[in-house]
Amino acid sequence: MDLQAQIAHAGFPEGALVHVVGEGPGRVFRVTGLEGRGFEILLTDDAVQVYGEGPTVALVLGRLRERAEAGLPPARSPGEYGRQVFVGD
């Protein structure tokens, strides 16, 4: 399943947008909503190598969906959101 299909299949609430961008040693998965709210998770290349591409992406998307359903926090400044990091052990 390609990434866009996984995002569509993850069941994000209405109005939530998911963006994925490369950043250093990994990818940032960001969910944003209305009024400058959002949250992101940095999925490191090490985590993908340890746990596998499919399971890590599914876990990250699930966590972002949970945050979106619970209510996204406001941005710290325009375009800067709270972040968690998923690293390999």
Average confidence score pLDDT of the chain: 93
* Full domain range(s) for residue 54: 3-86
Using one digit for the tens of pLDDT, what is the confidence trace for 21-51?
A: 998 889 999 999 988 899 999 999 999 999 9
How many domains, in total, are found in the chain?
A: 1
pLDDT at res. 34: 83
| Helices and strands counted in the chain (H then E) | 3, 4
Question: Do 86 and 42 touch, CB atoms closer than 8 A?
Answer: yes
SS3 1: coil
pTM > 0.85: yes or no: yes
Name which residue leads in pLDDT, 30 or 79.
30
pLDDT at res. 23: 85
pLDDT at res. 30: 97
